[in-house]
Amino acid sequence: MMQSSGGKMVAKIKFEECLKDSPKFRAFLEEEEMVIDHLEQKLEKAIKMCTIAVDSGKEYVKNQSAFATSLWDLRSHFVEDSSAHNALGKIIHCLQEMNKFHTILLDQASRTVLKNLTSYVKQDIKEVKDFKHLFAKVSESLDTALTRNAQANKNRLAEVTEAANILSATTSCFRHTALDYVNFLVMLQSKKRPEILWTLLSYYQACNTFYHQGSDLCNDFEQFFKGLADDINDMRAESKALEKTMQNRHMSVSNFLDDKLETGSDNSKAPKQIEGYLFKRTSKGFKTWNRRWFYLCDNQLVYKKRSDGDVPTVMEEDLRICTVRPVNDSDRRFCFEVISPTKSAKTGKFNFHIFYSFVLFTCCRSHILQADSAEILQQWISALHKGIGAAINCGQLNKLDQLTPVGSLPGASNFKKINWEQFLKIPGNSLCCDCRHPEPRWASINLGITLCIACSGVHRSLGVHHSKVRSLTLDAWEPEIVKVMAELGNEIVNRVYEAQVDQSVVRATENCDSSIRENWIKMKYVEKRFVLPMDGAVDGRIDSANELSVPRPTARKWSVRKARRRPKNKSKEILKTCDEETGSTASGVSGDSSSSVLVIGKELSDNVCKEDFALSSDQESTGGEDNMLEDEDISTLNPNLLLYKSAGVHNLPVMCQAFASGASKTWTNPSDLNRTALHQAILSGSVMACEYLLLNGVPIDAVDDNGYTALHLATEKGCTPQAYLLLKHRAKHDVEAIDSKRPIDIAVDKANADIVTLLRLTKLHEEIGVEEQGNGESDTYNHVMRDFSQMAVNQPQQYS
């Protein structure tokens, strides 16, 4: 038998002692049974406490969910305050996401601690105790057989023989049973360490994931909540300033009266637009007087009751056909009347003096109004005269201005606001890319896929070098990242990363165990176990994302087709050889019928934006779509060169295939000045290809044989959107090439004002330092950079 000593198992009881049924053996059994009873008590207590913790945790999650629901109700109170309304929405959403993480942790506790420990107590320990009763019965039978054998009369041979046989059989049975019992005891003791430690280690890992998910979620919103804290400080300062102002509230009474007296003493100061209470005499019945709030609006005289809210009554629809005069023959003081024809005149130009004569001698209607004082009376008469004159001179100018849409005016911006639900309309994106959970709310921006909350947590744990997770509903989305998402999507990416999934592999599903989900995602993106290798071309498979099907032995050359935004002919074959097209190669050089070119790159017909789809990656850039790079010998086909070539024609699905097949992020092309794929993307004029490479960790400041970085090339080509993108990703702007030129030198030589502005502003921003800047400088820099970002969106013809 074995016992633990310093982490190793050593002998504790020998088999001979079991067979002899010695006192040492019986003491061993008693000791082991006491240890097992003690272990059972401690495990049952741990299970009980874990059950209480899980139940209380579930109750906490339930109450936290109810709390979040009450906060949503509270948020409705701020529906008219957009800043507070939006801030509350993000805070509540974060709380709910944390609550979901907590739910997953509690589920993991139930699946590991409770399930495993309960199984150990209810099965393993129970099995040992059940065998203990069997051993006790066999031991009792042996004692009986020994006693009977001892009592047998030696003169009765048959009795002696029978007793001896029974003793022999019982002894054999006892010895085997004793050995089996010892085996149960030893194995139970042996299993307790790994079983208990593995169970608690699994729970610790679940806790680790839980805290990492919460930390990542908080990091994602760190900038937002930092800005919110600053806004709250501003709100408090405003509140204190308001409180100070309100302390002087009673002084407004005397100031208001002084202003009225000053205005009444100088009629030239009377405003054109006036408002205030007047008594209005009814035109029917007993001619009663009612106090109403009057004001001028859009060449109309309107009034409303104190309790009418925002529903005014129009007294005069068109001031151009009205006149006003004081009423001197009334019993009440400070009265005046507004006069107009009984029928409204047609729209047109009016001579005020002719019309005034018309009003004096023809049928008209009159509205008698009363002010509170002589000063206010003069203010109203003066304001109405000026309003009538302005209406006559200006005609319908104000109404025409109101009908002119802002977006149609020169210089007005007319941007589209992206709705996150549009992401779900990209093929495959309505379901989680990994487990097919409906309505995903998260995304991996460097992979170009959408994810559910559970899979996004696993993606976060992979590290940003594998997956960069972002919320669809909470995070701000740069236009260039939106374009990357629109170029890829779950359907395309899964055709790359799930090209060859064996039937024996357990896929992640919507409600699968967390360990299954984690293993599936790691196999898929870290180990890339299901990606079709590049040498699959030998048997006719090379690029699952683009469905190439020409066997490699039949192709002598290969090339990559430029990505197409809009299909010209849906019936056109995805892959064509030179003799199938016009008898010429993809590069335009004619060839005989025996040669062929493997053209990598499918028309993105599955990813073309429908009419109701607002996330078009580049609807205006279709020029040169049929052009391809120079053909390469089929022997050179490898992931690195494939990434380099596909970057040159901004074909993101092929770039995705190249990365999945093992393309190095730092590879340089010795046949082309040792340039990187990022250099190629710059030369192609593509912003989204650059963004895709940068999101996936391609070095931003790598230099070619001329010492040129990507920023040098973008400046030399005059590509402002690409220059902005590189500077946004912290590209070095002061690198000197072999010819001693920096990007700023090239921009000055090219007289590119936009890029010069970008470079100088970035340099100034770095020299001042963020910690030394006032809010004005930082806001100015961010505002200018946002302008360049919007320029890239609104001028898609400049890049693809």
> What integer pLDDT is reported at residue 579 of this predicted model?
32
Quickly count: other Cβ atoms within 10 Å of residue 641's Cβ.
19
Residue 588, pLDDT above cutoff 80: no
Placement of tokens 């068109």 in the chain: 318
Cα separations (Å) of 614 from 421, 442, 629, 708, 722?
10, 19, 31, 37, 23
pLDDT of residue 301: 92
9 three-state secondary structure: strand
Does the pTM surpass 0.85? The reply is: no
Reply yes or no on whether the pLDDT at 799 is more than 80.
no
- Residues 722-751 have pLDDT tens digits of 998 999 899 998 999 999 999 999 988 888
Q: What is the pLDDT of residue 791?
A: 62
Between 625 and 131, residue with greater pLDDT: 131
Point out the least confidently predicted range of 8-17, 494-503, 631-640.
Answer: 8-17
Contact 651, 618 (CB under 8 A): no
φ, ψ (nearest 5 deg) of residue 774 = -80, 165
Q: What is the pLDDT of residues 154-210, one digit of tens each?
A: 888 988 899 899 989 998 898 898 888 888 888 888 888 898 999 889 889 989 998
pLDDT bucket at 258, cuts 50 / 70 / 90? low
Going across the sheet that includes 323-327, the strands are 313-316, 300-304, 289-297, 275-281, 364-370, 335-341, 323-327
Question: How far is residue 386's CA from residue 650's CA, in Å, rounded to a whole number?
Answer: 64
Of 282-291, 345-354, 653-662, highest mean pLDDT: 653-662
Rounded to 5°, the CA angle 272-275-276 comes to: 145
pLDDT single digits (tens) 693-703: 999 999 999 99
One-letter amino acid at 567 equals P
Lowest mean pLDDT among 99-108, 254-263, 530-539, 663-672: 254-263
Phi and psi (nearest 5°) for 8?
A: -110, 155
Can you tell me the mean pLDDT for 3-28? 71
Share above pLDDT 90 across residues of the chain, in percent, rounded to a whole number: 32
At residue 265 the predicted structure's pLDDT band, cuts being 50, 70 and 90, is very low
**Mean per-residue pLDDT, 330-334:** 91
In whole angstroms, give the CA distance from residue 727 to residue 710.
11
CA–CA separation, 317 and 315 (whole Å): 7
pLDDT of amino acid 338: 92
Question: If you write DSSP's letter for every residue of 616-641 in order, what string do you get?
Answer: -S-TT--TTTT-BPPPEEGGG--HHH
pLDDT reported for residue 412: 36
Mean pLDDT computed over every residue of the chain? 78
Burial group, residue 234, by CB count within 10 angstroms (0-12, 13-18, 19+):
exposed
3-state secondary structure (DSSP) of residue 703: coil
What is the mean predicted confidence (pLDDT) over 612-617?
Answer: 46
If we measure between CA atoms, which residue out of 424, 414, 387, 161 comes closest to residue 275? 387
* Over residues 330-348, mean pLDDT: 73
Structural domain spans, the chain:
2-225, 267-397, 440-526
pLDDT single digits (tens) 407-443: 332 333 333 445 778 889 899 999 999 999 998 999 9
Tokens of 218: 């908080």
Q: Can you give the pLDDT at residue 522? A: 95
For the domain covering 2-225, report its CATH number.
1.20.1270.60
CATH number for the segment(s) 267-397:
2.30.29.30
CA 373 to chain centre: 62
Residue 80 has pLDDT above 90, yes or no: no
Q: What torsion, rounded to 10 degrees, do the Cα atoms 598, 602, 603, 607 define? A: -170
Burial class from Cβ neighbours inside 10 Å (0-12, 13-18, 19+) for residue 391 reads: buried
The yes-or-no verdict on residue 327 having pLDDT over 60 is yes
Mean pLDDT score, 338-362: 49
CATH topology for the 440-526 domain: Annexin V; domain 1 (1.10.220)
699 neighbors 678 (Cβ within 8 angstroms): yes
